[in-house]
Amino acid sequence: MHLITLLEAVSVLVGLGAAAVVPSSHVLHEKRGRRHPRLTKRAPGDSILPMRIGLRHNAEAMAKAEEWLMDVSHPSSPNFGKHWSQDQVINSFRPSDASVEVVTGWLVNAGIARTRITHTDNKLWLAFDATVQEAEELLKTEYYHDGEHDDDDDNDKVVVGSNAYYLPAHVQEHVDYVTPGVKSTTIDLKRLRRRRAAKRDTTKRDTVEGVSHRRSKNTQPRLIENVDEVLSRDRNDLSNCDSLITPACLQALYDYSPPSPHAKVSPKNSLGIFEEGDYYDQPDLDLFFTAYTPSIANGTHPKLDSIDGGVAPLAGFYGGESGLDFTIAYPIIFPQTITLYQTDDQYYAYYTGSQGIFNTFLDALDGSYCNYTAFGETGDSDIDPQYPDTASPADEDPYLGQLQCGVYEPTNIISISYGVYEQDLPYSYQERQCNEYLKLALQGVTIVIASGDTGVGGYNYGTYGDGAYYGCLGDDDAVFTPSEACSCPWVTNVGATEVFPGHTVFEPESAVLVQENRLNGNYSSSGGFSNIFPIPAYQKKAVQHFFDTANPPYPYYYNGNWQNATNGGVYNRNGHGIPDVSANGWNYPGWYDGSFGTSGGTSMSAPIFASLLNRIVEERIKVGKGPLGFVNPTLYENPQVLNDITNGTNPGCGTEGFHAAKGWDPVTGLGTPNYPKMLELWLSLP
């Protein structure tokens, strides 16, 4: 047995690089499938590495997390609304004291003085600096970097990592991740420098609009030819709501009136809106205010919470997404304010895009998330933006500060109109992120996310243009593809409806379906069943009712196992159902770089629903009550406060998709808001 272990260890050492023969007391913790192609130069032994040991997450806390959230979120709970403080959340999810002691003891015995070790504020990491020689001996590995000898360049960074590393057997169960390790780290190495090319890859700039549009959930604006005639109409006229959904149309649909522009509002109830790679244009906002909401003064704009170099507005740039979000929200909530979470510098957010999404945003709201370990993921991933930004040319104004961690307090309600699809990101990446949404919900934060605009499928040819025609899963491009991050059960995801031509705002809406020759296919409300997350307890009854009364005609599979479905299954029968609710998502007027047109998408639907929730929080504050937190359990227990949508489909993957039905359905969820009923319900709760 000892001989086999030793031979295996030597094999790894020869194939992937390590410092010495691994003793039998150690076990392999992580290794690459093959050597990193760029990490080819040995790191000098006296170079300093910022070592970080991610402690394995608290298994007991993970098992109880849903129960904790339901305790403060379910309307029948005696603890409804008794949200946790951030310190309570951090202390509850931190690794066990035993893990801290075992790992610290190993380090001290290996020669790392206790005074050199810091237990980070978020309780999830042990941090210390070590020479390369010390780290290699500690982890039985070798470190490599991708730099070049260049003593004249003192500012650039090198990527340092190993191809495999080992831990003592008694320590392994307490450690999730070590960095630098298989997960590389960008650092300065003494005497070693790497020169980055200062010339931008112009092919990326050529495709930038595709990157930005694919991540947001809005349709491209359609310019209107008869501008003068449309703008001459009475802004309160409801006779044309089937072709132009104005703020007055939304008020009639969901039975609310705009607040008085002189109303006194709470300074602690700003509506949060996330943006990335898209920038609002103040002249466009002013044109909208003048035409449709003259009680909102020109120059009204969101408060900017800049995250990792995010800037807005940005001269020379205008965004259909940002403009839509703000022209939707302001007429519903003003004089309540809006907080803009503009995320990532221009290089990562606009010019190149990063495959990852939302992590830097969540870092800024919760400092503990920056180094949080869960589901095999510690801290931000290699697919996320890396700060300081040394990849961007200087003329693109890169953000050269450190990654921002815990710099902003989250607003009570946050609206997000961005996302991709589950197959676009590692499952562990999404699971870790979803757990963070749960932690925010425990603290009373409501996250509202657009479900997407592609029915049961994805974008034509995939999110990044390298997939099959329908953007669906499987060799035959036929398996339905759930969107993310709305697949997480701890957020409220919003589908889209519309007023069909010839109908009025006083008739039931239908699921949106726009059949046009569009680059990304027909527009319909994304919905279906997650391949990652199971049906949460609060949703089981509603989903089962849908299967019992409107059973879809398609074969299915279980547990997200679409790769091995032998019956041609196209959706996950026991996955979390998407969306939860819906709101209008078509034909909203706006200005785009000075041109008048209409837009839509679930990007329109999400801020409608979020804005109405923000108004409910305001009313609760007036009577001495707190924020809503996670609203889904209350909505699923009280579907009567929503307008049930029973007409429409969400086609994709060469099918009609699912059909809207009585009760919850994977097209429009529980339905659209009935503001008076929603307000009455939440005012009746503690």
Rounded CA-CA distance 575/463 in Å is 22
Phi-psi region of 587 (alpha: psi -120 to 50; beta: other; left: phi over 0): left
The whole-number pLDDT of residue 2 equals 35
Residue 325 annotated among the catalytic residues of the structure: yes
Identify which has the larger pLDDT, 651 or 90: 651
The whole-number pLDDT of residue 538 equals 98
Given a cut of 60, is residue 16 above it in pLDDT? no
Q: What is the pLDDT of residues 496-545, one digit of tens each?
A: 999 999 999 999 999 999 986 555 568 999 999 999 999 999 999 999 99
Exposed/middle/buried for residue 67 (C-beta within 10 Å: 0-12, 13-18, 19+): exposed
Rounded CA-CA distance 370/375 in Å is 15
Mean per-residue pLDDT, 205-227: 57
Given a cut of 60, is residue 228 above it in pLDDT? yes
- HSE of 106, CA atoms in CB hemisphere, 13 A: 23
Given a cut of 50, is residue 443 above it in pLDDT? yes
The whole-number pLDDT of residue 219 equals 60
Phi, psi (deg, nearest 5) at residue 10: -60, -40
Residue 582's pLDDT band, with cuts at 50, 70 and 90, is very high
- HSE of 33, CA atoms in CB hemisphere, 13 A: 0
- HSE of 424, CA atoms in CB hemisphere, 13 A: 27
Identify which has the larger pLDDT, 382 or 223: 223
What distance lies between CA 292 and its chain's CA centroid? 32
Given a cut of 60, is residue 194 above it in pLDDT? no
The letter for the amino acid at 56 is R
The letter for the amino acid at 46 is D
Q: Are 253 and 672 in contact (CB under 8 A)?
A: yes
Phi-psi region of 669 (alpha: psi -120 to 50; beta: other; left: phi over 0): left
Given a cut of 50, is residue 429 above it in pLDDT? yes
Q: Which of 117-126, 217-226, 551-560 has the lowest mean pLDDT?
A: 217-226
Rounded CA-CA distance 82/286 in Å is 40
Tokens of 611: 């804005």
The whole-number pLDDT of residue 96 equals 82
Give the residues across from 514 on adjacent strands: 523
Given a cut of 80, is residue 32 above it in pLDDT? no
Rounded CA-CA distance 480/524 in Å is 14
Residue 596's pLDDT band, with cuts at 50, 70 and 90, is very high
Rounded CA-CA distance 671/12 in Å is 56
Given a cut of 70, is residue 152 above it in pLDDT? no
Q: What is the pLDDT of residues 533-563, one digit of tens each?
A: 999 999 999 999 999 999 999 999 999 999 8
Exposed/middle/buried for residue 566 (C-beta within 10 Å: 0-12, 13-18, 19+): exposed
Given a cut of 90, is residue 83 above it in pLDDT? yes
Identify which has the larger pLDDT, 55 or 404: 404
Buried b / exposed e over 324-344, threshold 16 CB at 10 Å, is: bbbbbbbbbbbebbbbbbbbb
Proportion of the chain above pLDDT 90, given as a percent: 69
Identify which has the larger pLDDT, 214 or 257: 257
Rounded CA-CA distance 239/126 in Å is 64
445: nearest Cα among 641, 610, 659: 610
Tokens of 537: 């307890």
The whole-number pLDDT of residue 190 equals 46
Angle at 544 between CA 539 and CA 546, to 5 degrees: 100
The whole-number pLDDT of residue 150 equals 42
The whole-number pLDDT of residue 462 equals 76
Among candidate residues 146, 176, 325, 377, the one labeled active-site is 325
Given a cut of 90, is residue 137 above it in pLDDT? yes
Mean per-residue pLDDT, 198-204: 27
The whole-number pLDDT of residue 197 equals 25
- Beta strand segments in 345-460, E: 373-374, 377-378, 413-416, 420-421, 446-450
Tokens of 642: 């929503």
Tokens of 363: 């870092």
Residue 373's pLDDT band, with cuts at 50, 70 and 90, is low
Residue 316's pLDDT band, with cuts at 50, 70 and 90, is confident
The whole-number pLDDT of residue 572 equals 97
415: nearest Cα among 310, 274, 602, 319: 274
Secondary structure of residue 54 in the 3-state scheme = strand
Mean per-residue pLDDT, 622-635: 98
What distance lies between CA 588 and its chain's CA centroid? 25
The whole-number pLDDT of residue 154 equals 45
Given a cut of 50, is residue 192 above it in pLDDT? no
- HSE of 72, CA atoms in CB hemisphere, 13 A: 24
Q: Are 72 and 79 in contact (CB under 8 A)?
A: yes
Among candidate residues 603, 605, 611, 665, the one labeled active-site is 603
Given a cut of 80, is residue 465 above it in pLDDT? no
Phi, psi (deg, nearest 5) at residue 501: -55, 135
Buried b / exposed e over 96-120, threshold 16 CB at 10 Å, is: beebbebbbebbeeeebeeeebebb
The whole-number pLDDT of residue 331 equals 98
User: How many other C-beta atoms lie within 10 A of the C-beta of residue 3?
Assistant: 7
Rg (CA), the chain: 26
Residue 621's pLDDT band, with cuts at 50, 70 and 90, is very high
The whole-number pLDDT of residue 521 equals 63
Among candidate residues 276, 281, 284, 321, the one labeled active-site is 321
Tokens of 670: 């529980």
- Beta strand segments in 353-457, E: 373-374, 377-378, 413-416, 420-421, 446-450
The whole-number pLDDT of residue 395 equals 83
What distance lies between CA 669 and its chain's CA centroid? 20
151: nearest Cα among 99, 108, 189, 94: 189
Given a cut of 60, is residue 334 above it in pLDDT? yes
The whole-number pLDDT of residue 172 equals 93
Mean per-residue pLDDT, 290-305: 98
CA distances to 297, 422, 456 from 543, rounded to whole Å, are 45, 20, 17
The letter for the amino acid at 404 is Q
Q: Are 579 and 495 in contact (CB under 8 A)?
A: yes
Given a cut of 80, is residue 266 above it in pLDDT? yes
Q: What is the mean pLDDT of the chain?
A: 88
Residue 603 annotated among the catalytic residues of the structure: yes
The whole-number pLDDT of residue 314 equals 87
Residue 85 annotated among the catalytic residues of the structure: no
